[in-house]
Amino acid sequence: MKLQYIIIASLISTSIFGQVKKDSIKNIEQINLLVKKKLLERKADRLIFNVEASIASQGMDASETLANVPMLKVDENMGSISITGKSSVNVMINGRMLNLSGTALLNYLKAIRSENIAKIEVITTPPAKYEAQGNSGLINIILKKNPNLGFSGNINANLIQRTYSGFSDNGTLNYQTEKFSSSLKFNYYDSAKRTDENYDIIGISKNYSNSVRRDMWKEVTPSLTMSYKINKNSEIGVEYIYAHQKSGMDIVNTTRNISENQVEEQLLTNTFHREKLPTHTLSAYYDLKLDSLGKKLSIAGNFYKNNSDTEVNFSTLKSSDNSVQDVKTTSLISPQIFSAQADLELPFSFGNIETGVKFNQFKNASDLQYFNLVNNQYVADQEKANLFNYQEENYAAYFSYAKGFGEHWETKAGLRYENTFAESFSPSTNSKNKYNYGQWFPSAFVSYKKDKNVFSLSYSRRINRPSMSNLNPFRWYSNPYSYSSGNPLLTPSYINNFELGYVYNSKFSASIYYLKLKNAFGQISSIKDNAELDIIGTYLNYYNNNFYGMNFSYTDTFFKFWETTLSGNASYQTSDVFNVNAKTQKGYSVSYLFNNTFTLNKSKTLAFFLNYSQDLPYKNVNTSFQNFSNLNSGIKISLMEKQLQINATVTNIFAQRYRGNMTFADNTQYMNNYWDGRSFRLSVNYTFGGNKKKISKKNINFDEKDRVQ
């Protein structure tokens, strides 16, 4: 921690005493560029946010920049990124899917500077070229090409103060020649937060649970990317990423059970949870230009492997007889993914054709062992042990055709076919499940542009396959009586997306959408029959949804120093359930946000921002959520001709909690959680560069890794 403060202090000191106030021609050119660049663009299949055109997005990291994009919502408290009105999204960098979620994803994005982002694409109805996997939409962050020959890079230091202090450091060193390009990156993260979770199940029997938890993460991630231009028409490249992650939880759980005959039992459980997760990712590609008109063949291969080694020790005190039960579980999970693909781009005078094939193979083996402490020795309990093997192969092919008609019309249509073979086996129960299913995934887009008006209409069909953790019957125990597990009998859900969009003057955007979700799955908790102490959580396919909604956003600059964005969303949903006994309810949801950035000097190097968002109470299927509001504020300082940037931010100032409930025929389940959302963050970033000259750079696509989560 001392090194962290020294880095920040030295950078700030250098900037204060070495900064010379001047209005350079370079700054004037950058300001003019911001004025000329359109903020929003509407293409046939996506909405594009040009980061350079947003004053509010300057001097920030990628996660903060996403919060300024219309239709996007970044929730630091939940550790999530979503498209307004959509159930979930996947995030890509230059078309490459990130194998990250939650806090890990946000930490990764914090290492990317907004100055290195060219644009952000919001794809609410993805076309045929992309994997059909995913619940509703994609966010594609397009990075700028490195303009520097020789050496360049940046170093970044961050402090975060929640209940506990944390920090992260990252650095990038680039080296480029006319033909060779390389980038060495290093990330280090060490942080912790306090969690307070309350979950109650109220029925004939009652269960009240409270967990106070310290969550800890530590991660070291070096990576190396290299590419070489063989000649003017061909290029090869490789990327290797190694991540060594350690995480832990110290949990104190209090559970109170009241049985049907009003007998009360209390449990006090102390849990010590530690996990090691070394991860390897290797990707390679070969690009070949077939002619000077833009025809191109791309071949890529990817390999991913990790080994999650976890040990959990918990000690439970039972109030009725003052007995103590000490238990240890160990687990080893080893997912492995291989993929290969070939893509062909064929621009012709009669239109642009894209086609390709892809093969993905998923493998996973897991081993859980359960031990009881007897006479100061741990004795294996084979009835609670679990072995599980899973293998899945996906074969895909796609074809799409795009054509513009005059200067007003743009169209695109595609068809993707995916065939899946899946097999799971549990040696401990001698149970085997096999699946084989093939599906077509069509997509179609059309847009019309005239003067300052752009209209678009889009449709796509998608699939949401269960992740490995959703399928694994592996039991995660929270005490000797309660656990959660996956379900190997889960089947995919399917999504149909329709959207009518509109953009005016590159500042105002609006859309009307319809989303049909069929055979959706989620986690269900219940009190086990005839055992009031046992709380069991598992995954089930149990509902269908219909969403009807509309959203809007407006971004503008007033008085030359105030940039503001106002956006909102309203939706109505109907649903039906199966496999569970619950009564559905029609749901309404309304949310809005109001972001404001004020530049405080003429050179635009000092800015203050104040952002507010609110989700009004809403219902979905058999779940109700209470009101949640969020207020963030901070300052941004750019020094040394924007080479040094300092940001200070306070998030979730009101320290809001998440509250909601799920209603079933025989019980109602309530949650009331706080995930240490209020925080103070200090970030210092220094960028150094060499001789500027544009160099093209290939970005590797590996979008299957999110299935590991």
pLDDT in tens, 495-545: 998 999 999 998 999 999 998 999 999 989 887 755 556 788 899 999 999
The two structure tokens encoding residue 298: 């791309």
Measured between alpha carbons, how far is residue 152 from residues 73, 238, 432, 467, 643 in Å?
Answer: 32, 20, 54, 39, 12
Please state, in angstroms and rounded to a whole number, the distance separating the CA atoms of residues 326 and 373: 5
Looking from the CA of 219 toward its CB, the CA atoms found within 13 Å total 25
pLDDT digits (tens, 9 = 90+) for 363-376: 999 898 999 999 99
Could you say which DSSP state residue 46 is in? -
Q: Predicted confidence band at 18 (pLDDT cuts at 50, 70, 90)?
A: very low
Cα→Cα distances 227→179, 183, 691, Å: 8, 9, 19
Beta bridge mates, 542: none
Rounded mean pLDDT of 378-404?
92
For residue 62, give the H/E element and its range: helix 62-66
**More confident of the two residues 533 and 332:** 332
**Confidence band (pLDDT; 50, 70, 90) for 705?**
low
Beta carbons of 602 and 21 less than 8 angstroms apart: no
Q: Closest Cα partner for 72 from 142, 123, 131, 134?
A: 123
More confident residue, 27 or 174: 174
- CA-closest candidate to residue 392, choices 366, 431, 357, 364: 364
Domain boundaries, the chain: 146-708
Residue 698's alpha-carbon distances to 94, 184, 347, 398, in angstroms, are 9, 15, 20, 22
- Across residues 401-430, what is the average pLDDT? 91
Which residues, at least 6 apart from 376, have a Cβ–Cβ distance to it below 8 Å? none
User: What residues form DSSP beta bridges with 663?
Assistant: 668
User: Who's near 235: CB < 8 A, 6+ residues apart?
Assistant: 227, 228, 229, 286, 287, 698
- Provide the 8-state DSSP code for 99: S
- Which region, left, alpha or beta, applies to residue 600 given φ > 0 means left and ψ of -120 to 50 means alpha? alpha
Is the Cα dihedral 102, 103, 108, 113 positive or negative?
A: positive
Asked if 305 and 322 count as a contact pair (C-beta separation under 8 A), the reply is: no
Query: Residue 176 corresponds to which amino acid?
Result: Q
- Could you read off the pLDDT of 165-198 as tens digits, one per residue? 999 898 889 898 989 999 898 889 899 999 999 9
CA distance 320 to 491: 42
Q: What's the mean pLDDT when you consider all of the chain?
A: 85
Query: What pLDDT score does 28 carry?
Result: 40
Amino acid 104: pLDDT: 63
> How confident is the model at residue 458, as a pLDDT?
93
Q: How many residues are there in the chain?
A: 709
Q: Is 154 left (phi over 0), alpha (psi -120 to 50) or beta?
A: beta
Dihedral of the alpha carbons of 381, 383, 384, 385, in degrees to the nearest 10: 80
Question: Which top CATH class is 146-708?
Answer: mainly beta
The pTM score is 0.84
Q: Which pLDDT belongs to residue 439?
A: 94
| Band of residue 20 on the pLDDT scale cut at 50, 70, 90 | very low
Measured distance between the N- and C-terminal CA atoms of the chain, rounded to whole angstroms? 31
**Cβ partners under 8 Å of residue 660, min gap 6:** 623, 624, 625, 626, 670, 671
DSSP state of 32: H
The pLDDT score that the predictor gives to residue 159 is 94
Tell me what pLDDT residue 454 has.
93
d(CA 240, CA 375): 48
